[in-house]
Structure 1
């Protein structure tokens, strides 16, 4: 059974059809990267999967259950969400932000138990950010804050994580840290990840480190290409999806012992 199944999903805003006949699935320990230009429907697709938009058919299943039949609390035990950006107005400490991920397991008027606090500490430790526990979240750097968002999602103890542009606005070092942690989550904890990204190289990097990864390349609300990165990302498909001429460089990665790919644009 797949953790996520999307069957012939279409969605409209008024008379504007935003998504058309979307089919995709994710199993345990797999990553699916949604690629495409701005406005192609990536975020709307994530919102449909998360239940933000009301759907009318048998289109989205989480762990074998129809999305419409799952209440909010139970849904939060199946899938967690890591936003592109998160602003916090109140001066919460990092551990207080992360413990919010335990909300599905705490009664409405209850307080976090010792077990919840231990889960929070173990999650922070697994991401090597336990030293942040007492820091004020709003004072962290972009990369540190994004790791805290991943920690909050992990505290929910879901098998499926949905990430919307997880490395957006991060510098080169922090981008690498986030991707490294995604690899660890999949390979060490068997997590499954649905990730919208603007960077095809992310999919190539995950594949080169032995992660089971597929890409769905979107254009105008449709998935035009679907499969393994090395099979479907090429100069022709990038030209079609983004309208950009590129060259894909292939070379042997001595560390992973696989052929690695990197995309460079060929400006005219």
Structure 2
């Protein structure tokens, strides 16, 4: 793959359900070591876009490319080795132990029916330590708070060691300290050459971690570009339907948030 080829790319991609598009076709790309953040109101199509990029929903039109090849040209095992996903926090169906669930992120690297080995368990432990939740290792997920479950899902995605990580509102339900821990982790992942695509309802978070920001409404992208050029009070006021002066007061000054 050429160095300029995006890790993940949407070409004239229309998203929707049952063949009905939510909005106009969009174009989006993610490079190695880049963080792209998606901002938009509830119901604008962010999760639908993510699920389409991951191949969990069919595209209404257009194409998704992964590592320079059409997504449909990768089998499930290849996708799992390349694409990691952190969904929105939700109750989990089984009472797995935390360490067991995080080690499931290694499945893409194992043979059919193979169980995680010592090396896989060590990777899982390292991911738990990285997020500061090693103390939860022996707990079952049904005993965790919503924020703790979210951190465990992030740890599982880290254990997958994918080249692209898609994170749907990863800081939702987290307290302030854990929000900062996730944001630091996102930048650290980008520093390792991993491409990160995430959504958030916090423009401040986007400005802290993103190289580029995309604004989404009605199933379409309204703007895409360098973070501080796109996430302006005027554009955010239009996006969210609130007063620009109030948004300006809530945002950090350009360059005020260290990367």
Aligned match for 1:227, one of 218, 222, 225: 225
Whole-Å Cα distance in 1 between the matches of residues 244 and 61 of structure 2?
39
Whole-Å Cα distance in 2 between the matches of residues 17 and 7 of structure 1?
15
Whole-Å Cα distance in 2 between the matches of residues 243 and 259 of structure 1?
25
User: How many residues are paired up?
Assistant: 251
Change (3 A) 1:135 1:35: same
Look up the match of 2:99: 95
Instruction: Give yes or no for the alignment of 1:206 onto 2:209.
Output: yes
The Cα of 1:121 is off from its aligned counterpart by: 1.9
Whole-Å Cα distance in 2 between the matches of residues 157 and 15 of structure 1?
33
Change (3 A) 1:122 1:235: closer
Look up the match of 1:168: 172
Instruction: Give yes or no for the alignment of 1:197 onto 2:194.
Output: no
Aligned match for 1:134, one of 138, 150, 163: 138
Look up the match of 1:118: 122
Whole-Å Cα distance in 2 between the matches of residues 140 and 147 of structure 1?
10
> Are the aligned partners of 1:238 and 1:245 in contact in 2 as well (CA < 8 Å)?
no
Whole-Å Cα distance in 2 between the matches of residues 259 and 199 of structure 1?
16
The Cα of 1:166 is off from its aligned counterpart by: 0.9
Aligned match for 1:84, one of 84, 88, 92: 88
Look up the match of 1:71: 75
Whole-Å Cα distance in 2 between the matches of residues 18 and 97 of structure 1?
34
Instruction: Give yes or no for the alignment of 1:217 onto 2:221.
Output: no
The Cα of 1:152 is off from its aligned counterpart by: 0.5
Look up the match of 1:266: none
The Cα of 1:38 is off from its aligned counterpart by: 1.2
> Are the aligned partners of 2:25 and 2:62 in contact in 1 as well (CA < 8 Å)?
no
Whole-Å Cα distance in 2 between the matches of residues 129 and 13 of structure 1?
37
TM-score (structure 2 length as normaliser):
0.88
Aligned match for 1:50, one of 37, 43, 54: 54
Q: Deviations over 1:193-228 (max 9, x none)?
A: 111112211111225xxxxx1111011111111111
Look up the match of 2:26: 22
Change (3 A) 1:251 1:169: closer
Whole-Å Cα distance in 2 between the matches of residues 232 and 252 of structure 1?
14
TM-score (structure 1 length as normaliser):
0.85
> Are the aligned partners of 1:218 and 1:224 in contact in 2 as well (CA < 8 Å)?
yes
Change (3 A) 1:103 1:19: farther
Structure 2 gaps, min length 5: none
